[in-house]
Amino acid sequence: DAKTTQPNSMESNEEEPVHLPCNHSTISGTDYIHWYRQLPSQGPEYVIHGLTSNVNNRMASLAIAEDRKSSTLILHRATLRDAAVYYCILRDDFQAGTALIFGKGTTLSVSS
């Protein structure tokens, strides 16, 4: 599985935008970029995913570099409930039954 690199931690203030970076220089052509987050003592939850184009959903936006070697998860207005570990994961979605392989992720702290 292609590897991703994320900062260990980031801090934000409530109601401010947060940009969470992820480097994936060895991404292959069939790898999708997935973001999941895990709140304390809970299972991870899906945030967003994309292949080449930028993506938006109700939770966040995903900005993907033109060469696909990096991406940024954007939380437009952070809330206290967004404090979690955010994982950037590459997965070949063209293959059925492929597990998500988690790295260390970025621990996001949000202050009021």
Per-residue binding letters, 30-69, with another protein (x by CB under 8 A): --x-x---x--xxxxxx--x--------------------
Nearer to another protein, 51 or 65 (CB): 51
- Indicate which single residue of 87, 88, 90, 108 sits in contact with another protein (rule: CB under 8 A): 87
At CB < 8 A and 24+ separation, what contacts does 66-70 make? 68/24, 68/27, 68/33, 69/23, 69/24, 69/25, 69/27, 70/21, 70/22, 70/23, 70/24, 70/25
Q: Is 95 in the site for another protein (CB under 8 A)?
A: yes
Quick one: how many helices (H) and strands (E) in the chain? 0, 9
* DSSP for residue 103: -
- Indicate which single residue of 29, 67, 97, 112 sits in contact with another protein (rule: CB under 8 A): 97
Summarize as ranges the residues that interact with another protein (CB under 8 A).
Answer: 32, 34, 38, 41-46, 49, 85, 87, 93-97, 99-105
